[in-house]
Amino acid sequence: MGVGGGVGTPGLPCPPRYWHTSDFEDTWERRVCLPWQSKRRVVPQSVERVRVLHHGGLVRTVALSSFTRHLFTCGGGVKVWNLASHQGNMFPVAHLRAQTPGGSLHSCLLSPDNSLLLVGGDSLAGVSLWDLKASCLHECAQMPCIGLSSQALGVCTERCLVLASFSQGSVRAWDPRTQQVVRDLRGPPDSAMRLAVKGQTVWTGGLDSCLRCWDLRAPSKPQEFDFESEIMGLCPHPLENLVLVSTANGQQWLQSTENLERRSVAFKDVLIVDLKFSPQGQWWVSVGMDDLVTMHGMPEGTRVLQVPELASITCCDVSENNRLLATGSQQQATVYQLRY
């Protein structure tokens, strides 16, 4: 517990980082038992702050790619940062702006194979897909949603679908090969601020304090789980039948996806706005209005590390290789290296 070693002073520029190639390798060992029963150390023992990137406005979402070795920060536009650079990383290598006049970009998400970047926001003609495999970054497709304000994004690889949730409470699914709408999932206004996809299951949560679960294989109504307070963050466990939920009253819950069983695993007297499981689900990170990055161990939610920042933290992401963590705040993004 306590503050992780080697973090450095919050907000001050970090010296150029000479990365080891293992920082970007996708070689994390697969589990042979439940992730929290493994004998090896599967939660970070310390963290090191290695990049402070000045986005120049509120960072609403961050997306880490250990495959392309880039960080994407979204807020107004999307800025692309080269994490493999040996130089100070003071400037982004690309800046993606809204393609629609008067539009604003608020959310971005990497596809599971890191080949595409999904981008959404307000007053846009659609959710745009950017090709990360091409030699030059470019928009390769657009999923139409004129007049809708997207809140969050998702990908269903099993059915080859791109999804977005909107402020009026609906979730739309497109086939990216044809840009055609495949399905619209209806919910009350402001009920889909958060969106998560696992397999062929779609989860939403928002201001109506209800966690909803749709099965894309069936046209039935969603399964519903009522909470006492508004849902601010949600993340399905990557391996187990659980969903992690943070609510506006400071609670963090593990909700079973098989029954109504629910367990409180963490509490703070401040708003927790985002949380994310590690790739194998041995731990999760939560961020919010307390200016702290907190890492919790499964399954009890034990606090294992806590790192201070200088301002409220709005979003977070963990790289697929389990070695990098990124956060976004009012003006900047911060990248940490995780040590086990």
Whether 71 is in a domain gets the answer no
337 & 247 share domain: yes
C-beta of residue 171 within 8 angstroms of C-beta of residue 184? yes
Q: Identify whether 26 is part of a domain.
A: no
pLDDT number for residue 177: 96
Q: Of all helices (H) and strands (E), which one includes residue 202?
A: strand 201-205
- Please check whether residues 109 and 193 belong to one and the same domain: yes
Are residues 193 and 297 part of one domain?
no
Q: ∠ CA 288-6-235 to the nearest 5 degrees?
A: 30
Report residue 235 as tokens. 């993340």
d(CA 114, CA 56): 25
Residues 263 and 330 in one domain: yes
CA end-to-end span of the chain: 14
Q: Which amino acid is at 88?
A: G
From the number of C-beta atoms within 10 Å of its C-beta (0-12, 13-18, 19+), residue 126 rates as: buried
| pLDDT single digits (tens) 178-228 | 999 999 999 999 999 999 999 999 999 999 999 999 999 987 899 999 999
* 277 within some domain: yes
Q: Are 324 and 28 in contact, with CB atoms under 8 Å apart?
A: no
Going by pLDDT thresholds of 50, 70 and 90, the confidence category of residue 10 is: very low
281/328 same-domain check: yes
CA distance 251 to 229: 9
Q: What is the pLDDT of residues 269-307, one digit of tens each?
A: 999 999 999 999 999 999 999 999 999 999 999 999 999
36 domain residue, yes or no = no
Q: Domain check: are 154 and 209 in the same one? A: yes
User: Does 9 fall in a domain?
Assistant: no
pLDDT of 22 strictly over 80: no
- Please report whether residue 22 resides in a domain: no
Instruction: Give how far Cα 336 sits from Cα of 25, 122, 134, 284, 333, Å.
Output: 16, 30, 28, 15, 10
Buried residues in 170-200 as b, exposed as e (16+ CB within 10 A)? bbbbbebeeeeebbebebeeebbbbbbbbee
Checking if the pLDDT of 16 tops 60, the result is no
Q: Summarize the confidence of residues 102-118 as an average pLDDT.
A: 95
| pLDDT, average across residues 150-174 | 97
Residues 142 and 256 grouped into a single domain: no
Structural domain contains residue 66: no
| Together in a domain, 325 and 274 | yes
**Rounded mean pLDDT of the chain?**
89
Looking at the structure, do residues 282 and 244 belong to the same domain, yes or no? yes
CATH number at residue 131: 2.130.10.10
Number of domains in the chain: 2
Structural tokens at position 300? 């009890």
Same domain for 202 and 185?
yes
Regarding whether 209 and 148 lie in a shared domain, the answer is yes
Last residue of a domain, one of 226, 255, 286: 226
Specify burial of residue 221 (Cβ count, 10 A radius: 0-12, 13-18, 19+): exposed
Cβ-count burial of 236 within 10 angstroms (0-12 exposed, 13-18 middle, 19+ buried)? buried
Residues 219, 247, single domain; the answer is: no
d(CA 82, CA 68): 9
| pLDDT (0 to 100) of residue 2 | 34
Q: Which of 210, 203, 138, 207 is nearest to 171 (CA)?
A: 203
**Domain membership flag for residue 319:** yes
Q: Going edge to edge, which strands form the sheet with 61-65?
A: 61-65, 70-75, 77-82, 94-96
Q: Of the residues 177, 210, 226, which one is the last residue of a structural domain?
A: 226
pLDDT at 85: 82
Of 226, 247, 264, the one marking the end of a domain is 226
Q: Whole domain around residue 110: which residue ranges?
A: 98-226
Query: What is the pTM (predicted TM-score) of this model?
Result: 0.88
| Range with lowest mean pLDDT among 1-5, 193-197, 335-339 | 1-5
Residues 6+ apart with CB under 8 A from 333: 51, 52, 53, 55, 59, 62, 71, 73, 81, 326, 327
pLDDT tens string 248-262? 999 999 999 999 999
How confident is the model over 92-118, as a mean pLDDT? 94
Please list, in sequence order, all residues whose beta carbon lies within 8 angstroms of the beta carbon of residue 85, skipping any fewer than 6 positions away.
none
For residue 31, what pLDDT is reported?
43
The token pair that represents 98 in the structure block: 């809204």
